[in-house]
Each structure stands twice: as C-alpha cells, then as structure tokens.
Amino acid sequence: MQIGLLEDDVHMAELARLWLVDAGYQVAVFATGEALIEAIPASRFDLLIIDWILPDIQGDEVLCWVRKNLDWPVPILFMTRRDSEEDVVHALELGADDYMAKPVSQRILLARVKALLRRSRQCKKQRYGVVGCPPYEVDVTRHRILNNGTPVELTQKEYELAVFLFNNLGHVVSRSQILERVWGLSSDVNTRTVDTHVSRLRSKLGFSADSGVKLSAIYQHGYRLELLDAD
C-alpha cells in the first residue's frame, strides 16, 4: 500500500514515516502542497495524510485539488493541530475521510490508517454493484450522478452519500451508519453534518414526487431513499 504523507515538520514527518514503514506501508513524504500535487498523477496513492498548515498552499486547498482532479476516490486523513469544531467540519465537508488532532500516537494513527484502507477496499468492491434508479444513474467511472442523463454537480461527500443511499434503496439507514460509512466516524460525532448533506442532496438531485424517488427523514432514526408508487 502506497501512502502520501504531506507534513512540513521534519521531526513529525520522519516519526510518522517510521511508524507507517514499520507497519508494512510504502511512504512518500512531501514538505509542500505543490510537491504532493506534482507527484500524485504518477504515484496513484492508496491513502493521503495531509497537514493543514504548510509553507505554500494550505492543506484544505490541497484537499480541494485532489477531490476535483483525481479520477479515483483516494481516502484522505487530515492530521493537524487545528482541532476546533469548525475546522473539523470544514475539512470533512471538503471531502476529508477522517481527522486527527496533533499530537498523535502511533497506535491510533495506524488504527485510523488501517480502517480507512479497509473501507476503501470495501467501497471498491461495492461500487461496481451500484444500481441507480430512473431517472437517476450512478456513473462509477467518473464518480458522478446523472439525473435524466444530465450530470449533477456534487461534492465528493455528497456523491458518496448518494451512492450509499442508492445501495440501500428502500432501507432505513441511521445517522450513525451514514457517518461511519461515508465519513468513517463514530456515532458520537455531531450529526448535523449528515442532516446538512442530506438536505443539499435532496435539493440538488430533486428527490420528489415528480422524480418518483423520495428521500425521507425517519423520526429519531435516520433516512430512507425509496421509490414512490406509480399509482
């Protein structure tokens, strides 16, 4: 497994690299966002670990570039001293898969990396079995959703949420399930992020009686994407 580590603190970068190499991973270390961006196309990393505060472009800008330009959904772990609720939510909404506040321990870092890679492998196995329902189509090659043949502009997390809901068409899914599968977080994290993304997704995809597909909130539990009776 190839991991790209973006960290400008030399001591922290070397320590994290040693931990990851000892665990059996191949690691490429980058001190600037531009250096990582330049290396990404030829490297095809299985996971990226990104610091926020960098000497050139900031980590959230690197995250935006990755989500906009890559044709594969590489998992991204933010590892930074910025740990306010606003910072965490901002990074997750931009497309980060997990978030760790420094200082970090060896065991927790390796556990997070292992969990992200495991979920990534599961997603790769599952996404080819995704079936949209008219008028919606899931384009797994370009990671997009089409409505009546027209691509809908979605963020990375909105796309992943839509895929998860289509995979569970007709079933109630809890907010904690959504957080775990889409964001890779435990259920004790504030669920407002889920509600916000569901609201945006409902609006962007136009789930309604006219489309024949409804996204309903289930009181005190979660959400259900369902087909409406044609009659």
* The pair of three-digit structure tokens given for residue 174, joined into one six-digit string: 């809890």
| Domain range summary for the chain, segments of one domain joined by + | 2-126, 129-227
- Does residue 91 have a pLDDT over 90? no
| pLDDT tens string 8-40 | 999 999 999 999 999 999 999 999 999 999 998
pTM given for the model: 0.59
**pLDDT for the residue numbered 185:** 61
- Does residue 95 have a pLDDT over 80? yes
Measured between its terminal Cα atoms, the distance across the chain in Å is 51
CATH architecture of 129-227: Orthogonal Bundle (1.10)
**pLDDT for the residue numbered 122:** 59
pLDDT band at 87; cut points 50, 70, 90: confident
Nearest of 201, 112, 122, 204 to residue 157 by alpha carbon: 201
Q: Average of pLDDT values for 39-68?
A: 90
* The pair of three-digit structure tokens given for residue 131, joined into one six-digit string: 């079936």
Which has more pLDDT, 168 or 58? 58
Measured CA to CA, the distance from residue 77 to residue 23 in angstroms comes to 17
- Does residue 128 have a pLDDT over 70? no
Q: Residue 133 in 3-state DSSP?
A: coil
User: Edge to edge, what strands does the sheet with 222-227 contain?
Assistant: 172-174, 222-227, 213-218
DSSP 228: P
Measured CA to CA, the distance from residue 30 to residue 9 in angstroms comes to 10
Measured CA to CA, the distance from residue 66 to residue 46 in angstroms comes to 13
CATH architecture of 2-126: 3-Layer(aba) Sandwich (3.40)
| pLDDT tens string 178-218 | 888 888 765 455 678 889 999 999 999 999 888 889 999 98
- The mean of the pLDDT values for the chain is 85
**pLDDT for the residue numbered 231:** 43
Max mean pLDDT range (49-63, 88-102, 112-126): 49-63
Q: Point out which residues pair with 215 in neighbouring strands.
A: 225
Max mean pLDDT range (98-102, 115-119, 124-128): 98-102
**pLDDT for the residue numbered 134:** 82
Which range among 52-61, 74-83, 97-106, 136-145 shows the weakest confidence by mean pLDDT? 136-145
